[in-house]
Structure 1
């Protein structure tokens, strides 16, 4: 996926550091769950589920990360114009996620804004909701230390040594300002108003959580000049701790947008 402004690419790529990961560039969907799980088993709707490591992406602590490999393939393009694209995937017979459903996604583009909507349509059983997206942003030609962040978050989700939530939350504190030498791989509750902002070199990227995303993961590693404002429907490890769900036959949609401006235009 590409997102260009004034001829420059604003989406980052870290596949050189994490090969064989389709979610390491662009704006990937993380499904059927986003972020880390604290183990290889979970229970939902009275069904115990064992995860097969062969169908997983594993993170640095050896734990499952960002969904199932099978979820990436099998999508069908249902609409494609110059300003709108839509695709859908029927998730059926997944041993690691035995809650059949259809997932659909639309991407709509105007002169300044990209809007992405993701919709789950449940089958005969409830479907847990724990998906998210992982946009990778960059500011070409601007030193990382000069990138300025605005993070409209409320609480920081406290994690253990394996980056799994402990159940504790603390005030997020003052996070806005230059990125400098800071790094992030932190989960937060969304504050409910305002956009996440990356600004520098006369350009401003805003990510607005418009509907359905109550959590955010902020990722800014030392190994690459990228910042990710990740819209999340649930915190890390939620799949193992009673996540929200779509009832049988029901529908759930979540939407976020990316707006790009030259600062002089604002």
Structure 2
């Protein structure tokens, strides 16, 4: 139920159900990225450029943690909670979007995660790893808020749960704006035949720079075939906790925001057979705008956020979907 395997030259720690039907793998030396989720041997994560490109070029893949911010910022310098964030792309290599804006935070592929627990459980396994942000002078120069991160991945029956906890030091508040970018796919099923459910009710309007304008609008997305549709859109999380769904080929993958993620981004490009339902603790650019949607974790307190991916088997006979 626990083990390790080598993936592209990196040591990945694995979690598996007792029957071996579901297996997840994470790489502590590459930012604790979730690099594999296999159901009956079939990969369900979009591995895109793979681990090598993730480490060398910060090209996202699998289930990457986007920390301390998710998606874009409109500036390389900003003031939050009485302190100045100054991002130096030389000192802390990171992705830039098509407009040159900083993307996806400072911890992509970062080393420094310390594994604290990797154990079997009655119906699966658990992996817990800790990152001391305040121990890294370069990171603290860019994001000067002392804290620790704990990432816990639990595999239980058909469900992989990823919980992230931020523990603030007693020195200063910590802005909470992180997220994840789980890339899902269905091998053996044409993208246009993927069935999706996107149960959102409110969209955040984006400007030409793909940053929120502050305006919102009601929205309803009917469930059905993905077809030729594409997405790179921001939403408020489903108010009733309904799961995002990708279904096809006898599988139904449900991604649910369980706690601490009031915002979502949905990404489904035309040129890559993946779809991402992205849990976010704040909308994009919240560190710069520093509005009421940005949570400031009080000194000494903790913030916990969790999402889950559940894989169910469905009848794949004609007409069943």
- Which bracket does the TM-score occupy, shorter chain normalised? over 0.9
SS at match of 2:266: strand
Report the alpha carbon displacement of residue 50 of structure 1 after superposing the two structures with TM: 2.0
**1:5-20 equivalent positions in 2, closer than 5 A:** 5-15=39-49, 20=56
User: Which residue of the other structure, out of 61, 64, 87, is the alignment partner of 2:129?
Assistant: 87
What is the distance in 2 between the residues matched to 1:128 and 1:231?
16
User: Which residue of the other structure, out of 170, 176, 196, is the alignment partner of 1:149?
Assistant: 196
Larger radius of gyration: 2
Cross-structure match for 1:107: 153
Give the unaligned 5+ runs of structure 1: none
User: Which residue of the other structure, out of 228, 232, 241, is the alignment partner of 2:280?
Assistant: 232
Q: How well do the aligned residues superpose, as a CA RMSD in angstroms?
A: 1.8
Report the alpha carbon displacement of residue 21 of structure 1 after superposing the two structures with TM: 4.3
Report the alpha carbon displacement of residue 13 of structure 1 after superposing the two structures with TM: 1.6
Report the alpha carbon displacement of residue 57 of structure 1 after superposing the two structures with TM: 1.8
1:196 aligns with 2:232: no
Partners of 2:69 and 2:287 within 8 A in 1: yes
Partners of 2:66 and 2:108 within 8 A in 1: no
Report the alpha carbon displacement of residue 23 of structure 1 after superposing the two structures with TM: 5.7
Relative distance call for 1:121 and 1:41 in structure 2 (3 A) is same
Cross-structure match for 1:254: 305
Report the alpha carbon displacement of residue 252 of structure 1 after superposing the two structures with TM: 0.5
List per-residue Cα deviations over 1:187-245 (Å, max 9, x = no partner).
Answer: 10012221000001111000011111111110111121001011110110011122211
- Higher RCO (CA < 8 A, seq sep 6+): 1
SS at match of 1:255: strand
What is the distance in 2 between the residues matched to 1:52 and 1:23?
18
What is the distance in 2 between the residues matched to 1:72 and 1:169?
35
Cross-structure match for 1:58: 96
